[in-house]
Amino acid sequence: MTDSANTEELTFRRYEEGETASDIDLEEKIFQADASYKCPTYIHKTPPCQGSCPSGHEIRGWLGIARGMDKPPVEGMAWQEYAFQRMAEANPFPATMGRVCPAPCEDGCNRNEVDEFVGINAVEQYVGDWANENNVKLPGAAPDTGKSVAVIGSGPAGLSAAFFLRRKGHGVTIFEAQEKLGGMMRYGIPGYRTPRDMLDIEIGRIIDLGVTVRTETRVGKDVTLEQLEQDFDAIFWGIGAQTGRPLPIPGFDADNCITGVEFLDAFNQGWVFSTAKKIVIVGGGDTSVDVASVARRLGHIAHKADKGRSDSTVLGHTAHDVAGTATREGVKAVLTSLFPVEEMTAAEHEREDALREGVEIRGGVLPLEVLKDSEGRVAALKMCECEMDGAKPVPKEGTEFEIECDMIVSAIGQMGDLTGIEGLDNGNGFIATDPLYKVKEQDKHFAGGDIIRPHLLTTAIGHGRVAAENIDHFLAGEPIDRRPKVDVHHFNLLNELHQRGLDPDEYDHQQTRGTSEEGFAIHNYEDRSATQIIPHDELFKGHFEYEPLEKREQVEIVGDDVLGNFEERIQGFTEEQAIKEGNRCMSCGMCFECNNCVVYCPQDAVFRVKKSERSVGRYVDTDYAKCIGCHICMDVCPSGYIKMGLGE
């Protein structure tokens, strides 16, 4: 607001009347003969692989370890152990996630602009398997805080939360309704995808940190909500979405109509040894593919010893049915999806495996009605072709058809089982939280994983990590009100310097000039990783030559050869392959010591830091007395780590 009493006309004008910035030769202002006000600054940004990872893995960091850029800080430590410890900073399940995660990180990889993405999942699996084989442990817990947290559910969200809370020094007790820990990793995914011995090792590491476990204990039945609130300082709900959604069509109450969750749970509990002769699975996601693949492996027992039992009709024949001679036949499995096959949400390689193994997949079809026989059992599924209007299917008139079957499995979604804890239900079978994973309108309650939003196992792990950090602040009486824009586990230069014994000098917090000569300052470095993800067009991609992707070998089973085959399909990397993929990483947003800036600087202004003072992110420095601001170092930086900033 101007002071009406002050009539003095302002004399300073940046531009004359009618003049714009484009009329001014700004380049002339910046570049003055052989000097410039612009100089190279080293800017750390988050790579897109990491920004795409729901668990927040510092992927670039452990790929840098694989390539040998970041050496283990402890003499005699294997690089695989160092990489594992880096992985566990965000995700303590590398062997599991390296197998089953659909790898959104690879979709986001900037290397896609050069040739193919880096095989991130395969390196993760290799390191996880190496750690399992070599009995590598997780970092120990911090000193006891005197606070205790109840973790309800031992799936990926609950175990992740338990791990990160225990590392902070809090007491953790896990309550699990099932006999064993693991949640959907154990009871929702078949063992040929998540081998149980591998799972037991990764879970065991977390429990070994001093986590108390109470299995076969259902909260709301065996333990009341009031007891939890009385006995614990905070509660984390990671109970998953254990209830499948039935098909909303007439006739789904028929015998042999079940949900995908029920089918896979029964199989993984060891209750199912056979299935129906003709099965239709309605879905399109990974769960539906798992159901179809398991059904093809189980097959159908055509001849069995009749035990006179009547409790084995829903899922076919169970353990007590195969005591006698049995002939196992192939099963016809048809998987249907509202969306066209190429738009199904299931991972592409999982679809391809299912097709190769004899599963028939039909996309763009809508279930209309379950047709029953005279005894009230499934006879067929009536369907029609459809088109999708967003998420809404629009049936095509005159395209009705029937698929003959004797079992229908609905794999169209899941919701939580909140029996006994109905006060947490948001009205839709889930728990509502704020962005910090605190349960709305509930003091000291937090939640994560499928119970707030069904998604990937990796997503649930990320929820557990972030929620644990927020719980830690809550327990300290210092709750936070917002998270970083890019909320992942970031590289921290101060931590890197610390583990190398290169900590900056103490700063007396007195105003001073000439900090370039002082040891307390981190010179010429800016960390934007919490707010910015580096795109491919900030990289000098011409530096990278074509290098083919190293692919994991896979046991490919065709047709009825799948019958009875429950062996793992994916074959892990060798060390040589893992290192090779590490070398393919473009290290987006972080120096990987290529020397381009040193070689191409015409003034010899850019130089290597002394070897004794070198660390990741501190490989090169600039002598500003020599720098003329020519931009060449920025132009030839393959990783986009160098930007031109203002300075003298």
Cβ 128 vs Cβ 62: under 8 Å:
no
What's the rounded Cα separation, in Å, for the pair 237 and 471?
12
What pLDDT shows up at residue 128? 97
Q: CA 96, 78, 162: angle at the middle one, nearest 5? A: 40
Is 1 buried (19+), middle (13-18) or exposed (0-12) by CB count in 10 A?
exposed
pLDDT at 318: 34
pLDDT at 331: 83
Q: What average pLDDT is seen over the chain? A: 88
pLDDT band at 147 (very low <50, low <70, confident <90, very high): very high
Give the C-alpha distances (Å, rounded to integers) separating 177 from 152, 165, 181, 435. Answer: 9, 21, 9, 27
Using 50, 70 and 90 to split pLDDT, how confident is the model at 629?
confident
Check the CA dihedral 432-436-440-446 and report its sign. positive
Euclidean distance between CA atoms 437 and 234, whole angstroms: 13
| H or E stretch covering 596 | helix 596-600
d(CA 478, CA 457) in angstroms, rounded, equals 30
Beta strands in 445-490 (DSSP E): 445-447
Give the 3-state secondary structure of residue 377.
strand
Quick check: 396 and 390 in contact, CB under 8 A? Answer: no
Exposure class string for 71-92: b at 16+ Cβ within 10 A, else e: ebeeeeeebbbbbbbbbbbbbb
Q: Any residues with CB less than 8 A from the CB of 104 and at least 6 apart, and which?
A: 52, 53, 54, 456
CA angle at 570 for the pair 564 and 576, rounded to the nearest 5°: 150
Q: State how far the alpha carbon of 468 is from the alpha carbons of 86, 331, 366, 452, in Å.
A: 18, 45, 42, 16
Predicted pLDDT of residue 305: 42
pLDDT of residue 21: 53
Higher pLDDT, 140 or 164: 164
The per-residue DSSP string of 197-241 comes to HHHHHHHHHHHTTT-EEE-S--BTTTB-HHHHHHH-SEEEE----
Q: Report strand pairing: 401-404 vs 378-389.
A: antiparallel
pLDDT digits (tens, 9 = 90+) for 4-41: 444 445 454 545 666 655 555 555 544 544 555 678 89
Separation CA 272–CA 566 (nearest Å): 14
**How far is residue 248's CA from residue 245's CA, in Å, rounded to a whole number?**
8
The region, left, alpha or beta by phi > 0 then psi within -120 to 50, assigned to residue 222 is alpha
Strands (E), 373-471: 378-389, 392-395, 401-404, 407-410, 414-415, 445-447
User: Tens digit of pLDDT for each residue in 307-360?
Assistant: 333 333 334 333 333 333 345 577 899 999 999 999 998 888 889 989 998 999
Query: What element of type H or E holds 363?
Result: strand 360-363
CATH class of 148-242+416-475: alpha beta
- Mind listing the pLDDT tens digit for each residue in 565-590? 788 888 999 999 999 999 999 999 99
CA gap 512, 501 in Å, rounded? 26
Q: What are phi and psi of 450, to 5 degrees?
A: -65, -20
List of residues 6+ apart from 135 with CB closer than 8 A: none
Using the 8-state DSSP alphabet, how is residue 591 labeled? -
pLDDT classification of 57: cutoffs 50, 70, 90 = very high
Structure tokens at 293: 């693949």
Q: Is the pLDDT score of 273 beyond 90?
A: no
% of residues, the chain, pLDDT over 90: 68
Q: How many CA atoms lie within 13 A of 609 on its CB side?
A: 15
Domain coordinates in residue numbering, the chain: 41-135+490-646, 148-242+416-475, 246-413
- The structure tokens 């000291």 sit at 444
Q: Which three-class secondary structure state does DSSP give residue 386?
A: strand
pLDDT mean over 492-515: 86
Q: What pLDDT score was predicted for residue 239?
A: 96
DSSP code of 323?
A: S
Around 375, how many Cα atoms within 13 Å sit in the side-chain half-sphere?
Answer: 6
C-alpha count within 13 angstroms, C-beta hemisphere, residue 453: 15
Cα 418 to Cα 18, 222, 396, 421: the distances in Å are: 68, 14, 38, 5
CATH superfamily, domain at 246-413 = FAD/NAD(P)-binding domain (3.50.50.60)
CA distance between the termini of the chain: 36
Partners of 332 in the β-ladder:
278
